[in-house]
Amino acid sequence: MTTTDGYVSVRYLVDNVPAAVAFYTRYLGFTVLTHPAPAFADVIRGSLRLLLSGPASSGARATPEEFVGPGRNRIHLVVDDLDAEIARLRGAGIELRSDVVTGPGGRQILLAAPAGNPIELFQPAADR
């Protein structure tokens, strides 16, 4: 497989494309690549291209019913200061879905996008 655009793409099924675009751009530092439409939009952050597929998109229609809900897989976004990000998101009224978990590689917390898709914010350990 090859790609010419330099992005790694992940598809998230969403119930409201404009709301998803607003969430990812406003709170998580993504920028719009393809302008949102009712069925589809894509946003980027670094080399991650997030495909936001609404119910009318071909990506959503091709998904078997047993796979339509959010799963345990998630995108993983590295941040410099997890505590500052937590404070910023809470200040914006974003509900966090876990407590901070600390392990040998760093610290992480989970939140969910408006459609319920999970997102992990991760701060690497200082000694890594």
Q: Residue 4 pLDDT more than 60?
A: no
pTM, 2 dp: 0.79
Res. 2: pLDDT tops 50: no
C-beta atoms surrounding 123 within 10 Å: 20
Burial class (CB in 10 A: 0-12, 13-18, 19+), 55: middle
pLDDT at residue 119, rounded to an integer: 92
More confident residue, 103 or 128: 103
- Residue 52 pLDDT exceeds 60: yes
**8 CB contacts (<8 Å, ≥6 apart)?**
47, 48, 49
In angstroms, what is the C-alpha Rg of the chain? Answer: 15
| Mean pLDDT value across the chain | 87
